[in-house]
């Protein structure tokens, strides 16, 4: 029983820490289009693109030249 409670507490702590550690960003393009990301956008140096998952769960890829601002969302 003690082992079960300990495991449960560890899992609960991991869930809480994971929720606190995830950061969302707002990506604004030069045309004024705005995207809200789930996690930090990844930059690919070869293709010069940003790749991220938007709030709908869809993968978005934008050229670096099309991106105006990327800023972290404050919650």
Long-range contacts of 30-38 (CB under 8 A, 24+ apart): 30/65, 30/66, 30/67, 30/68, 31/66, 35/60, 35/62, 36/73
The pLDDT score that the predictor gives to residue 3 is 83
Q: Are 41 and 54 in contact (CB under 8 A)?
A: no
For the chain, what are the domain ranges? Answer: 23-75
Q: Indicate the pLDDT class of residue 35, thresholds 50, 70 and 90.
A: very high
Q: Indicate the pLDDT class of residue 20, thresholds 50, 70 and 90.
A: low
The pLDDT score that the predictor gives to residue 58 is 94
Task: Indicate the pTM of the whole model.
Answer: 0.68
The pLDDT score that the predictor gives to residue 53 is 94
Q: For the domain bounded by 23-75, which CATH number is listed?
A: 2.30.30.100
């Amino acid at each position: 029983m003690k082992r079960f409670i300990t495991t449960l507490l560890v899992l609960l702590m991991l869930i809480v820490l994971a929720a606190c550690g995830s950061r969302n960003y707002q990506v604004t393009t030069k045309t004024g289009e705005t995207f809200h990301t789930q996690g930090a956008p990844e930059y690919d140096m070869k293709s010069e693109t940003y790749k991220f998952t938007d709030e709908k769960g869809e993968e978005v890829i934008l050229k670096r030249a099309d991106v105006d601002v990327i800023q972290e969302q404050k919650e």
